[in-house]
């Protein structure tokens, strides 16, 4: 099952449904700033990193099934596609 999920993930990237972006040092600092900036959202480290990278690349829309992440993304001005 794990191999099938990973293969589907790679296929989604190759078809352009998902984009893989590299983590850079500047993203780590930005993620720490987001955590400090949004204490009311209890932003987790990897969620903050995800949002920091999205901001640096000028993305406007994010999809998630995580309610906490969604609220933080909206607070930062992202449009959110929420799924469950």
Domain ranges in the chain? 21-82
Each residue's pLDDT tens digit in the chain (84 positions)? 899 999 999 999 999 998 889 999 999 999 999 999 999 999 999 999 999 999 999 999 999 999 999 999 999 999 999 988
Write down the pLDDT at residue 41: 95
The answer for residues whose C-beta is within 8 angstroms of residue 31's C-beta and 6 or more apart is 45, 48, 49, 51, 52
Token pair for 65: 């099934």
């Amino acid at each position: 099952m794990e191999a099938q999920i990973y293969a589907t993930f790679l296929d989604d990237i190759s078809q352009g449904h998902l984009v893989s972006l590299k983590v850079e040092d500047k993203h780590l600092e930005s993620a720490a700033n987001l955590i400090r900036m949004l204490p009311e959202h209890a932003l987790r480290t990897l969620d903050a990193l995800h949002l920091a990278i999205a901001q640096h690349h000028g993305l406007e829309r994010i999809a998630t099934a995580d309610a906490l992440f969604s609220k933080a993304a909206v607070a930062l001005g992202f449009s959110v596609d929420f799924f469950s």
